[in-house]
Amino acid sequence: MITESPVNVFLDELASSKPAPGGGSAAGLMGANGAALVSMVCNLTIGKKKYAAVEPQVKEINEKAVALRLRCLELIEKDIAAYTGVSNVYKMPKETEADQAARHDAMQKALKVATMPPMHIVEACADILKLCMPIAEIGNPAAVSDAGVGALAAEAAMRSGALNVLINLGLIEDKGFVARERAHLDALTAGMSDLKEKIVIYVTSKL
């Protein structure tokens, strides 16, 4: 599994001409970084007498951040598997009309499958972003900049995942599927860039 490899191996794979890992996997890694930074702020707060009053909330935030980080790593693997499926369809024969029809149907199915991991990355990263303001506000102020970087990473990952959803939807002929997934994507991302800006402004005011 690529997520168990050293980071330089992942980056070498990402930089190569292989179809996967690609942008979706990069989005998952950015999201995992954002969640890890939320946990960093939490772990620099938990156990310190000065922040005992907020420790229960901080622990709850950390539990969510850990789960979301692991979710992003899982989605990197799923994204690689899904897009490998799309790549394999391109290798199918297309000499006859029957070949072309089979290839077309397989591609439409593979594109739908490939839409899901980046959509789930968007979902996870929206949740990560929502953790950044609370931990910036109640966490150890010495690490408030890390909360800000976490917000930037989460929002970038969310938008990156969205691009990978959109490129697949643009090739899918099932209009009902496209409309549903586009509406879901719009709902997930609505207001998230504004939230990121609010977090950055808050963090900057504390530096």
Query: What confidence score (pLDDT) does residue 3 get?
Result: 84
Query: What confidence score (pLDDT) does residue 9 get?
Result: 93
Q: How far is CA 154 from the centre of its chain?
A: 7
- Name the domain count of the chain: 1
Given a contact cutoff of 8 angstroms between Cβ atoms, the answer to whether 24 and 121 are in contact is yes
Instruction: Report the distance separating Cα 119 and Cα 165, nearest Å.
Output: 6
Query: What confidence score (pLDDT) does residue 141 get?
Result: 97
Query: What confidence score (pLDDT) does residue 25 get?
Result: 95
> Where residue 171 falls among pLDDT bands split at 50, 70, 90?
very high
Instruction: Report the distance separating Cα 60 and Cα 42, nearest Å.
Output: 9
Given a contact cutoff of 8 angstroms between Cβ atoms, the answer to whether 11 and 21 are in contact is no
Task: Tell me the per-residue pLDDT of 35-52, one tens digit each, with 9 for 90 and over.
Answer: 999 999 999 999 999 999
Query: What confidence score (pLDDT) does residue 4 get?
Result: 85
| Closest C-alpha to 165, from 177, 147, 148 | 177
| Closest C-alpha to 122, from 154, 158, 156 | 158
**Considering the entire predicted model, what is its pTM?**
0.94
Domain containing residue 115:
2-205
184 has pLDDT over 90? yes
70 has pLDDT over 90? yes
| Closest C-alpha to 146, from 206, 100, 188 | 206
User: 38: domain CATH number?
Assistant: 1.20.120.680
Task: Tell me the per-residue pLDDT of 117-165, one tens digit each, with 9 for 90 and over.
Answer: 999 999 999 999 999 999 999 999 999 999 999 999 999 999 999 999 9
